Structure 1
Amino acid sequence: MSRSKLPPIVTLLYTHNPFYLISACLFAYGLKLLFRSGNSAVLFAPGTVGYMEPWGLLASLAGVTSLMAVTAILVVRLGRVWEDARSLVLIVLLMLLAISVSLDEIMTLLSDQDISRRHLLLMFGLGSSFAVVVSELLVRGLKISLPWAYRLPLHLFLLLFFLWPAGLLTELTGFTADQTRWMTAAFPSAAGLIGLFLIPAVRRTSEVVRHNGTPWRWPWFPWTPFVFLAAAVVFRSYSLTMSYDAVQYHTHFWDTSFSLYMLVPFLMAMLLILLEIGITERMPRLVNGVLMTAPLLLLVAYPWWVPWRRLPSYQNFTYLVVSEIASPVFIALMGLLVFYVWAWVRGLRRAELGIVAMLLTAVFIGPRTFGFATWMPSWGNLQSWPLVVLGLWQLIVVSGSRRSVNALMSLGAFAAMVVIHGRQFSVPASVISLTHVHVPLLVVILTGIIGRDELAHRFRWAGAPLITLTTIALLSQVARRHVSPTVLLIHIPAGIVLAVSLAKLLKEPLYHVIALLHGCFAGFVAVTGGIVAFFRLSLPEGAKPVILAVVSFGAAVLISTLKSGLLRRIRLFRLRRSRARSVE
């Protein structure tokens, strides 16, 4: 009977052949039951887990793993059935993970029975050696061309699964319970460091694995085993806390130190690898996707999403992380900042937006920002150092590019830092009001001066009316008695001088108009103020009319002089004289 005439379910089973996986799972489950003594009806309750024969169980699991590896080699060597071989390779990795997890339980039981350190180290050494030997024989037996740039991280991951628990046994290390908990939490970070060893392989491009001895193309080869190992790291991180972060029997069984924020360093390394793949293989969609989704790690780092957040061991360790290191959200934020800086150094201009976003977020989220305060910051918790970094970085960038956007971000960062410091320290209210009024004007004018693009020209044009708006805002502050009127008397002539200077510097006629308007306003204020002050003066009777007569006479003489053209003749005389001197 041909495959086309078979029922769909039979065709599916025939094509994908899940029975290897079913067999491996049944082997692992049955062997653990066979080698476990005592009542196992209710697992993990007091007195139910008895002595487990370690060597027999490990030898049996190793035998099943070897059987699967040999079968994979035979189905390829004899029948070229690569689809079944792929399943068998993943099953071998699954069995190695199962052996490492079984070692956790065995080691904790043996350590309770005062087994010698040599015995424990021997079991760790045999387990790790077996994992590396099986994986290497599998690669060689299948005649797969896997460069060492990929093979070395593969072996390091397997060694990590087997050897990291050795550092968690107090019988071997002498660590306290708290130190063991820290080591358990550091497992994903160690896995992330190993993952970074894949970056040199990625930069060699997919051409190095084009002719790999298998029918699979990149990225299915060689990334399928590493995706499986990445999922295994997540599971192993949880299983280690279940095995070595033991709790008393009167507490909740799920009460461990494990949290999703522990996975952030590993996930960060995975994002970095994906970014390198996108850059090296010229996959802009992948690059954009990684850059856009990376900030989601801030949500993963928030400790209070998990259902077991109210359990005591979890809470105690989370508070310890915050007090000894920093808030998990802040740690993730700093990691994202490094990630975007790396992307920017690699030539991705879009990563600049990520750097700015992370620095601005760091203004609100500090090392001790915790709980709901993460999403509801206050003035007292704001940090100024990210603004300093942002301002200096953009200042360096704008010195070479002269882009007004960079100038605006640099000046805006320094301006925001000034405002934050004014809020946090005991600065007089009048000074704060003056700062708030003048900071926008300075930012706009300096951006227009520094920039050399079209946006900078618009900032130059906007600076002129902003001088007037600043004066109006200052008038409102004087009316509310937040600022002394003396400041206004200084501000008006200073605004005229600024407008005239900018008109000459920027060649913008609008600044001349603003200077004229401010001059008229200053004259009006001076005349009005002078008249009011004059009539409030206490002078002898008859003195005020005499003074007014003198002023009126002076005005009349000035008008007559203007009518006579004397000023014009004087100007022409000086012009002729200067020309004569230039000729001589």
Structure 2
Amino acid sequence: MSSADIPVPDVPNSPPPTSSSPPPASEPHPFLRWVSTSNPFYVISAGLFLFGLRMSFSARERDTDSWALMGGLAGYTLLLASAALVLVRFGRVWNDVRTVLLLVVLMFLSTSVTFDELLVLNPGHGRGYFVGGLAFAVAVTEFVLRSIRLRLPLGFRVPYHLALALFFLYPLALVAVLSDPHSEALMWGLWGFAPAAGLVFLTLVVAIRRGRGYVRDNGSPWPWPFYPWSVFVFLAVAVCGRAFLLCWSFHLLPNASDQLIFGPYFLVPFGFVIAILLLELGLVEKSRATQWVALAVPVGLVALAAVGHRSDAIYREFLDHFATRLGGTPLFVTLLAAGAFYLYAWARGVALAPDALSVVFAVLALVKPNTLTFDDVIAPQPAFLAAAVVLAVWISLWRRDWWRRAIGAAVAIGWAGTVAWRSYRALREDAPGLDFLVLGVALLPIAVMISLVKGGVRLRWLERWLGRAPNPTG
């Protein structure tokens, strides 16, 4: 019997094997994904709380309202600090912790501006809130840092606490001169907040020069420069806002509530400190991009000094004091400061600093000490323009760069042409026929050359200029 004759039993059709893997999950909605990753509810919560607190209480009407404001701010700050502690101890959600800690700093700054009106109306009562607010801010900061085991070196810790002290204590220094809104001391005090903040931020240079290794093993996964520079960027923005609010709250002008002494140029000194910090960061990190950003900051500051000027009486009053005491308008003084900054950058070995300095000299040639805006620029002054040309030529010879030589030559030609044109215009006023005289004299040598060519005289330089090779037998 062959194998072909052996019957084969029927095998029932079995169902195809089913996969045990679950079906692919659908993609979450982009909004839900953004909410889960960014978690904006901390910011929304803080904003709603501050808004509700401000609507419910006023720091000027009753003592109970002032205490309620202070208690509400302190209580919510402690809630945020507790939230940071919970997130670190139980969840290790460091991204959200950074947001919460910045909100804690925001609450400190909100406390420092909430009682401005109380300090103006009742200085004896208001001082306690400012001093107490500073003590509370320092205590909470140290408690949070120790509780979550976050290391903040002294090079950053001291400037941070100095910044808090400036926000809380600087208004107290203005109380003694508040009685006379036209007092020059009060006006300089209002202007001086931004420079004082600049001096505080300048203490960060020590930490910057230690490099990124200074905050290594800080107890968090935050990379450099997000830690610790996030908080100082936050404080820098707050400095700009506080400079404006000081002028709004502490300069009480009778029957002139719409006038304000503040101008954008108030922020220029602080801006130069930011430029110095960026320059030092770029040098330490060997980042050309950061150095270039630092060199570009004074350009923005010069523009800031030239815009936003108004005709308010009180604004013009301090502007006159500024120009008298410092020897020039904000635009002129800012240009001088920009020159000093570029000189410092040159001394620190930044490549493009001397070129920027020559540009400053060129711009100073168009600006006098009383020039307020770029609409008031003057004809080029020979001294500054000559300095710009000499510096540009010297740099080109030193570095042997043809493009720098070209720029220097162009500036020199432009300067000479400008001076010649100004002299010519002055002569035209005394001699109305000067244009015809000059044209007549200019046409005379042309006529002579034409006559010489007609007579067979060869002008070799003219042939070379026209591209003709001279005939050796001619």
TM-score, length basis structure 2: 0.74
C-alpha separation in 2, matches of 1:284 and 1:69: 39
Partner of 1:164: 170
Once residues 154 and 354 of structure 2 are traced to their aligned partners in structure 1, the CA distance between those partners, rounded to angstroms, is: 34
Could you tell me which residue of structure 1 aligns to residue 54 of structure 2? Answer: 32
Give the direction of change, closer, same or farther, for the CA distance of 1:392–1:110 in structure 2 (3 Å limit). Answer: same
Deviation, 1:147, is 1.4
Letter in 2 for 1:337: G
CA distance in 2, matches of 1:266, 1:234: 9
Which residue does 1:278 correspond to in 2? 282
State the Cα distance separating 1:187 from its structure 2 match.
Answer: 0.9
Shift of 1:390: 5.8
CA contact 2:178–2:186 (8 Å) conserved in 1: no
SS in 1 for 2:334: helix
Q: CA deviation at 1:121?
A: 3.8
Please name the residue that 1:22 is paired with: 44
The residue number in structure 2 matching 1:236 is 242
Q: Is the 8 A contact 1:69 1:138 kept in 2?
A: yes
Distance 1:152 1:188, change over 3 A: same
> What number of residue pairs does the alignment pair up?
406
1:289 corresponds to: 293
Counterpart residue number, 1:61: 73
Deviation at 1:213, TM superposition (A): 1.4
The aligned residue for residue 211 of structure 2 is: 205
Confirm whether residue 315 of structure 1 aligns to residue 316 of structure 2.
yes
Shift of 1:191: 1.2
Amino acid at match of 1:93: V
The equivalent position to 1:265 in structure 2, one of 250, 269, 283, is 269
The secondary structure found in structure 1 opposite 2:115 is helix
Q: Is residue 251 of structure 1 aligned with residue 263 of structure 2?
A: no
- Aligned pair in 2 of structure 1 residues 171, 359: CA closer, same or farther (>3 Å)? closer
Query: Which residue is equivalent to 1:357?
Result: 359
1:172–1:4 CA distance, 2 compared to 1 (3 A): farther
* 8 A Cα contact 2:177 2:185, kept in partner: no
Q: How does 1:384-399 map to 2 (within 5 A)?
A: 384=383, 386=384
Distance in structure 2 (CA, Å) of the matches to 1:286 and 1:3: 44
Contact 1:131 1:159 in 2 (8 A): no
* Structure 1 residue 322: Cα displacement: 2.3
Preserved contact between residue 331 and residue 373 of structure 2 (Cα < 8 Å): no
Q: Describe the shift of the 1:209–1:3 C-alpha distance in structure 2 as closer, same or farther (beyond 3 A).
A: farther
Q: Which residue of structure 2 aligns with residue 561 of structure 1?
A: none
1:169 alignment partner, SS class: helix
Relative to 1, partners in 2 of residues 1:324 and 1:336: Cα closer, same or farther, differing over 3 Å?
Answer: same
> Are the aligned partners of 1:166 and 1:172 in contact in 2 as well (CA < 8 Å)?
no
Spell out, residue by residue over 1:239-295, the C-alpha distance to the aligned partner (whole angstroms, 9 max, x if none): 1111012222x3353x21111111111112112211221221122122223324531
> In 2, are the aligned partners of 1:167 and 1:173 still within 8 Å (CA)?
no
The alpha-carbon deviation at position 214 of structure 1 amounts to 1.2
Indicate how the Cα distance of structure 1 residues 395 and 8 shifts in structure 2: closer, same or farther if over 3 A, else same: closer
**Structure 2 contact 112–130 (Cα < 8 Å) conserved:** no
Question: Superposition pairs for residues 344-493 of structure 1, below 5 Å?
Answer: 344-371=346-373, 374=376, 376-378=377-379, 382=381, 384=383, 386=384
Which residue of the partner structure matches residue 335 of structure 1? 337
Show the counterpart of 1:184: 190
SS in 1 for 2:122: helix
Structure 1 residue 158: Cα displacement: 1.1
The structure whose residues are more often helix, as a share, is 1
Q: Distance in 2 between matches of 1:328 and 1:168?
A: 23
Alpha-carbon distance between aligned partners in 2 of 1:80 and 1:398, rounded to the nearest angstrom:
56
Inter-partner Cα distance in structure 2 for 1:357 and 1:186: 29
Contact 1:170/1:176 (8 A) holds in 2:
no
Shift of 1:190: 1.2
User: Given that residues 76 and 82 in structure 1 are in contact (C-alpha distance below 8 angstroms), is that contact kept between their aligned partners in structure 2?
Assistant: yes
Instruction: Give the distance between the partners of 2:32 and 2:58, measured in 1 at CA.
Output: 37
**Cα deviation code 1:6-31 (max 9, x no counterpart):** 54333332332222222222222222
Q: CA deviation at 1:203?
A: 1.5
1:164 is displaced (CA, Å) by 0.8
- The corresponding residue for 2:143 is 137
Residue 171 and residue 214 in structure 1: after superposition, are their counterparts in 2 closer, same or farther (change >3 A)?
same
Equivalent residue, structure 1, for 2:447? none
Q: Deviations over 1:282-328 (max 9, x none)?
A: 2212222332453122111114x36xx24333233223322332211
Q: What is the CA–CA distance in structure 2 between the aligned matches of 1:236 and 1:3, rounded to whole Å?
A: 49
> Partners in 1 of 2:244 and 2:147 — Cα distance?
33
Q: In the alignment, is residue 11 of structure 1 matched against residue 16 of structure 2?
A: no
Shift of 1:393: 6.9
Structure 2 counterpart of 1:259, which letter?
G
Give the alignment's Cα RMSD to 1 decimal.
3.8
Pairing of 1:79-90 with structure 2 (within 5 A): 79-90=91-102
Identical-residue share of aligned pairs (%) = 33
Could you say which residue in structure 2 is the equivalent of 1:122?
Answer: 128
> Which residue does the alignment assign to 1:94?
106
Contact 1:323 1:368 in 2 (8 A): no
Residues 50 and 278 of structure 1: CA distance in aligned 2, closer, same or farther (over 3 Å): same
What's the offset of the Cα at 1:337? 0.9
Residues in 1 aligned to 2:263 and 2:243: alpha-carbon distance in whole angstroms: 9
Alpha-carbon distance between aligned partners in 2 of 1:388 and 1:178, rounded to the nearest angstrom: 38
Q: Which structure's relative contact order is higher, taking Cα pairs within 8 Å and 6+ residues apart?
A: 2
Code of the residue aligned with 1:198 in structure 2: it is L
CA deviations 1:549-578 (Å, max 9, x no partner) are xxxxxxxxxxxxxxxxxxxxxxxxxxxxxx
Amino acid at match of 1:311: D
**Contact 1:188–1:233 (Cα < 8 Å) also in 2:** yes
Query: What per-residue deviation string (whole Å, max 9, x for no partner) do you get for residues 468-517 of structure 1?
Result: xxxxxxxx89x79xxxxxxxxxxxxxxxxxxxxxxxxxxxxxxxxx9xxx
Letter in 2 for 1:205: G
1:366–1:383 Cα contact (<8 Å) kept? no
Cα deviation for residue 171 of structure 1 reads 6.7
Cα gap change, 1:395 to 1:92, in 2 (>3 Å): same
Does residue 195 of the first structure (1) align with residue 201 of the second (2)?
Answer: yes
Matching residue's letter, 2:284: T
Aligned CA distance change for structure 1 residues 10 and 334 (closer, same or farther; 3 Å) = same
List gaps (5 residues or longer) in structure 2. Answer: 1-23, 428-437, 443-460, 462-474
Partner SS for 1:263 = helix
In structure 2, do the counterparts of structure 1 residues 137 and 334 end up closer, same or farther at CA, with 3 Å as the change threshold? farther
- What runs of 5+ residues in structure 1 fail to find an aligned partner? 38-48, 430-475, 481-513, 515-584
Which secondary structure state, in structure 2, belongs to the residue aligned with residue 143 of structure 1? coil
